[in-house]
Amino acid sequence: MDKKTIRDIDVAGKTVLVRVDFNVPMKDEGKVITDDNRIVAALPTINYLLEHNPKAVVLFSHLGKIKTEEDKAKNNMAVVAPRLAELLGRDVKFVDATRGPKLEEAVKNAENGQVILVQNTRYEPGETKNDPELGKYWASLGDVFVEDAFGSVHRAHASTVGIPTNLKPAVAGFLLEKEIAYIGKAVSNPDRPLVAILGGSKVSSKIGVIENLLGIADKIIIGGGMMFTFAAAKGHKIGSSLVEEDKIELAKKYIEKGGDKLVLPVDSVVNTAFANEGDIKVVGEDVPDGYMGLDIGPKSVENIKKALEGAKTVIWNGPMGVFEMSNFANGTIEVCKALAALDGANTIIGGGDSAAAVKQLGFADQVSHISTGGGASLEYMEGKVLPGIAAVDDK
C-alpha cells in the first residue's frame, strides 16, 4: 500500500483526530443501536492509538442525514458513546458540540489518552460542502489526523478531506488500510482469474463498475433485478419484472463488448406478485405476462458455479434475488456457498446489500473480506480516485 498508516507515526503525547464511521442503524427514534458492527470495526485502530500513549483520541463521525431539527434529534451521536465505552472497557467523553468553547476545552484539558466523541459532524451545515473554514477549524484541534471511515471516503466532506488538507501528518487507520489492500488490489493488481459478480436491482447504479470491470475482469456474472434489463436487451419477454427502459441500449452495448466474458442468467424464479407466497415457478429466459422475476434459477446457479471454478479473486456486489424473502433467497445462498467453497481465493464482498446478505445468511466468516462501505466500494471498483483516500499522505 502506498499510503502512510498509523504504524508510520509517533502519537505519544499528541492529540489524535480520527474520522471513524459510526453511522450505525438505529430504532426507537435514535435511542437504540440495532447493529454495532461499524463501532466494532473501528476498535483495532482506536486501541492501537491508546496503546501508544496519546494525549487524547478525538473521534469524528456523521450519523444519518440531517435536514431538519427532527433529524438532529434522532441522529444524536450521544447514543454511540456508552456502547463504545463498553467495547473499549474505558471511559468515553461525549461532547455535545461540533465547535466552540465546550469542544475546545474538552480537547485542551484531556490527558492520559482520554477518548472524546464529538457530536454528529453533519450538525454542521458546512460538513457536506467541505467548507474550508470548518475543515481548518477542526484541524486546529489536533496534532495528527487518522482516516479510518472507509464508508465515507468517497465523499469530499470537511471531516474526510478538510481536516487532512489542513493537518499533517494524515494517515490511514487499520480499517482503511484493509479496504485498500483488498479492494484496491482486486481492481489494480488482482490474482487471476478475477471474477466479478454484480447483482442488485439497477444497471444505473453499476454502470461505472461494469464499464471498468469489462476491461479488468476475466468473467463478469450478472444477477439480481438488473438481469431483466439485460434480458430485454437480448429480446426476451420479461413480464412485469423490474426493467430500466432507458438502459436497454447500454445493456446491448455491454453484451456486445463483453462477449463470452459476460455470464448472464438463463432462467429465473418468478411470481405473480412481489411477495413470498403466490404462483411461484421456474421459467427459462422468457418471463410470462403477469409474472415478475425475483431470483435467478437453478441453471443460472450451475453456470455461476462453473464460471467461478479456479477463480483466484472474486468481487461480489449485489444479491442475486430478493434474498429477504425465503422463496427468492436461493440464488444468493448458492453464491455464498460457492464462494465459501473456493480454495485459496481472495473473496471480497463489496458492502451494501451483498454484505447484509452474507451476514444474514451466516457466511460472514467464510469469505476473505466484507467491505464496510457500500457506495465507497462501488466507486473504488469503478476505478475512481476517492477524495478521502487521496487526502491521506503518501509513503
Q: Can you list the domains of the chain with their CATH numbers?
A: 6-175 (3.40.50.1260), 182-381 (3.40.50.1260)
The closest of 345, 383, 6, 309 to 178, measured between CA atoms, is 6
Catalytic pick among 162, 352, 374, 388: 352
Instruction: Considering the candidates 4, 14, 38, 178, report the single residue annotated as catalytic.
Output: 38
Cα 319 versus chain centre, distance: 14
- Does the annotation mark 200 as catalytic? no
Is 351 marked as a binding-site residue?
A: yes
Q: Which helix or strand (DSSP H or E) is residue 185 part of?
A: helix 185-188
The pLDDT of residue 375: 81
- Which grid cell is 356? 447484509
Question: What is the Cα–Cα distance from 198 to 224, expressed in whole angstroms?
Answer: 8
The pLDDT score that the predictor gives to residue 41 is 93
Residues 6+ apart with CB under 8 A from 291: 239, 240, 241, 270, 271, 272, 279, 281, 283
In 259-342, alpha helices (H): 298-308, 330-341
Residue 120 backbone class (left: φ over 0; alpha: ψ -120 to 50; beta: rest): beta
375 given a catalytic annotation:
yes
Res 379: pLDDT: 86
> Are residues 268 and 300 in contact, defined by beta-carbon separation less than 8 angstroms?
yes
What's the confidence (pLDDT) of residue 253? 96
Please pick, among 113, 184, 375, 383, the residue that the annotation labels catalytic: 375
Catalytic residue status for 331 = no
The pLDDT of residue 30 is 75
Cell output for 327: 422463496
90 belongs to an annotated ligand binding site = no
What pLDDT, on the 0 to 100 scale, is given for residue 208? 86
pLDDT digits (tens, 9 = 90+) for 196-230: 999 988 888 888 889 999 999 999 999 999 999 99
Model pLDDT, residue 248:
96
Whether 215 is a known active-site residue: answer: no
The reply, when asked if residue 302 is annotated as ligand binding, is no
**Below-70 pLDDT ranges, the chain:** 1, 351
The pLDDT of residue 357 is 86
Is residue 91 marked as binding? no
Extended beta strands in 42-122, E state: 56-60, 92-95, 114-118
Q: What is the pLDDT of residue 356?
A: 83
From 136, 202, 312, 359, active-site residue: 202
Give residue 361's pLDDT.
86
Q: Is the pTM of this model over 0.85?
A: yes
Q: What is the pLDDT of residue 380?
A: 87
124 annotated ligand-binding residue: no
| 122 labelled ligand-binding | yes
